[in-house]
């Protein structure tokens, strides 16, 4: 039986998973793996458990592409590995479904944009230094 399995992630413990969880449930995900971890960190235990649970014919569903990761190589590697195993990928916000050629193209465009967006976010230390230099 093919399953829709959700993966939800927030970057910090003080963020909430409620919006993602609700969207994944409405999208028909019976099982949802959740964690608080940075998207640039490839070592995410819940994501690993989720990937292990997926079987051919299943679909991995995320609320937004950057919840799976922000590194272009990681996103491409994860989705390629799923595809090799016969697992589909879907991102609800971007309306990406990799079950066809157009969906695969759309995935690669949005994955590149997610990495670009990550490059725009200044590291916290740089923000602190900038703020400190203005207040002294």
**Summary mean pLDDT of the chain:** 85
Class for the domain spanning 4-135: alpha beta
- Residue 9 sits at φ, ψ, to 5 deg, of -145, 140
Please tell me which residue in 11, 38, 71, 91 is annotated as part of the active site: 11
Can you give the pLDDT at residue 3? 96
Residue 136, pLDDT > 60, answer no
Give the domain ranges of the chain.
4-135
pLDDT confidence bin for 134, thresholds 50/70/90:
low
For 70-98, write each residue's pLDDT tens digit: 677 888 889 999 999 999 999 999 899 99
Residue 133 annotated among the catalytic residues of the structure: no
Instruction: Tell me: pLDDT of 125 over 70.
Output: no
pLDDT confidence of residue 40? 65
């Amino acid at each position: 039986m093919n399953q829709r399995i959700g993966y939800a992630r927030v970057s910090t413990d003080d963020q909430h998973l409620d919006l993602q969880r609700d969207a994944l449930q409405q999208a028909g995900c019976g099982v949802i793996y959740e964690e608080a971890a940075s998207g640039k960190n490839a070592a995410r235990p819940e994501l690993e458990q989720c990937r292990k649970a997926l079987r051919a014919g299943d679909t991995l569903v995320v609320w937004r592409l950057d919840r799976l990761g922000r590194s272009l190589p990681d996103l491409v590697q994860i989705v390629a590995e799923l595809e090799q195993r016969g697992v589909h990928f879907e991102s609800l916000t971007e309306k990406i479904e990799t079950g066809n050629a157009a969906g695969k193209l759309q995935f690669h465009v949005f994955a590149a944009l997610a990495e670009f967006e990550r490059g725009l976010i200044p590291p916290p230390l740089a923000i602190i230094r900038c703020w400190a230099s203005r207040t002294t």
